[in-house]
Structure 1
Amino acid sequence: MTAKIGVITFPGTLDDVDAQRAVRLAGAEAVSLWHADTDLKGVDAVVVPGGFSYGDYLRSGAISALAPVMQSVIDRARQGMPTLGICNGFQILTEAGLLEGALTRNKGLHFHCVDTHLEVVNNNTAWTTEFEAGDKIYVPAKHGEGRFQASKETIEKLEGEGQVVFRYTDNFNGSLNDIAGVTDETGRIVGLMPHPEHAIETLTGPSTDGLGLFVSAINAITASV
């Protein structure tokens, strides 16, 4: 079977086409999903991509989290569907209550557009089995509100239960504990601020390291069939 991975488009989404391309290069069928629809078209997994959905009004991701498509995603994700939020998608997943913590303005209030090395902390999620714990992956990051914040109790929980998935090696945005990405308790839902979909070919990105997330998801899908 060919895995089907849906990629959502909201008003203001910028990276949906890039995410679809990453899905195809990994070997799955990319399915376009529209924010105003509730039909997930039979997909096996979903990517909530980056951009500035709804212009980041109210808070980044706050409006998109209430979109019709997200109600379907929330239901399926809670049933175990692999779900990945990238940058604005990570913000949307936290606003939707699928992931803990919040993404706030960067340290110094600066927008950063950099290539950064991330350390893989948890390689047992649906999106990271292609890596080894301790691997460094080189991917782009571009955001103004990517500083991961949470209560002391939540940070202790995330660290204690292995829910930190990626850490910054440079922590340019001031995230607590250098956290760049987290997962839920099941390991099926993952969010990260940097952009693996921009690191799938050396012609267009700094490396091919990001492709591993999408291959991992395909493996998770086929393993559950």
Structure 2
Amino acid sequence: MSKIWSAESASAVATPVGGFGDFGTLGRQGGGFRTLYGDDSAARPWTAGAPGRRQDSAPVRDEGPAVDPIEEAAREAFLQGFQEGDRIARESIEADNEARIMLANAVQHIAQTGEGTLATMLSQAVIRLVGQIMGEVEIDEAVLKERCAAVAACIDSDDHRAVLEVNPEDMHLLEEEATGITLSANPALQRGSVRLATADGWVEDGPDIRLERLKSLLDDMEGRR
């Protein structure tokens, strides 16, 4: 009732397996079912040729959260302000250090200078300053007349040979009737100065004389130290 299959009968009746398409055939050559694909199909991946499937897909890059331009601008402004403040602070510190060094050098220089030398420097500075001030001040006519009167009081009224010398630019400020003495222009005198010349000698008053007195006082103070 049943047929017994042998190898010979199987090889003789090797027919495609029905109902499975071309998946394989039974036969001696394949030792059973043949391979599903050809010889070159062994290296093909299972997904090869499958419709709707992507073989080599590029990885999706994660771009991260979006940057807010306002926050970015605020961050850059803060950084610039911090750097500018740091620069100003450094420059201020450097300037203070330079000033401190200069003061230290000045103090050291003064400490090495003797009291006499320092007093001489101060007196010269005062004399030079007073001389500049006296040179810039305009001549006061009233003061000039007072000096002339004080000098004229030093002579006898009978001495007609006395001559009162003044700067040529001061001649128009004085009148002979005011002093009763002959006036004479002397370009060697500084403006504001008067000199009374008599047979016995001369008497002088003016800015130069007062400056010399100031210098003498400063020299006396320097000698007392």
TM-score, with structure 1 as normaliser: 0.21
- Higher RCO (Cα < 8 Å, 6 or more apart): 1
Write 1 or 2 for the structure with the bigger share of helix: 2
TM-score, with structure 2 as normaliser: 0.21
Write 1 or 2 for the structure with the bigger share of strand: 1
Larger Rg: 2
